[in-house]
Amino acid sequence: MNCSVCGEKMKPMHGMCSTLVGHVSPPGHDHDDNCKTKTYKCKNDHYEKVSKRNRCTNPDCDWVGKEECFCHQGKKVEEWPV
């Protein structure tokens, strides 16, 4: 992932944040739609928050979480940038 300000390569910082909204899932499923966010930083100290869209871990389930959240701008990504 490249910085949207200067174009330099961004690296993930340590840790992840999550919202804490309660949820209920059927047995054997994980329908947790809390927003999990990582912060990325470039060498010029520009920061960007990225959130990954949640999916149920049950291979027989096609549940996916919402595309956007109140805690960050833009749509969620399908995979964490490297």
Mean per-residue pLDDT, 1-15? 95
The CA-to-CA distance between both ends of the chain, in Å, stands at 7
* pLDDT value for 69: 86
* pLDDT value for 2: 96
* pLDDT value for 22: 87
Contacts for 41 with CB less than 8 Å, ≥ 6 apart: 10, 11, 13, 47
pTM of the model: 0.79
* pLDDT value for 82: 84
- Residue range 23-80, pLDDT digits in tens: 889 999 999 999 999 999 999 999 999 999 999 999 999 999 999 988 778 899 999 9
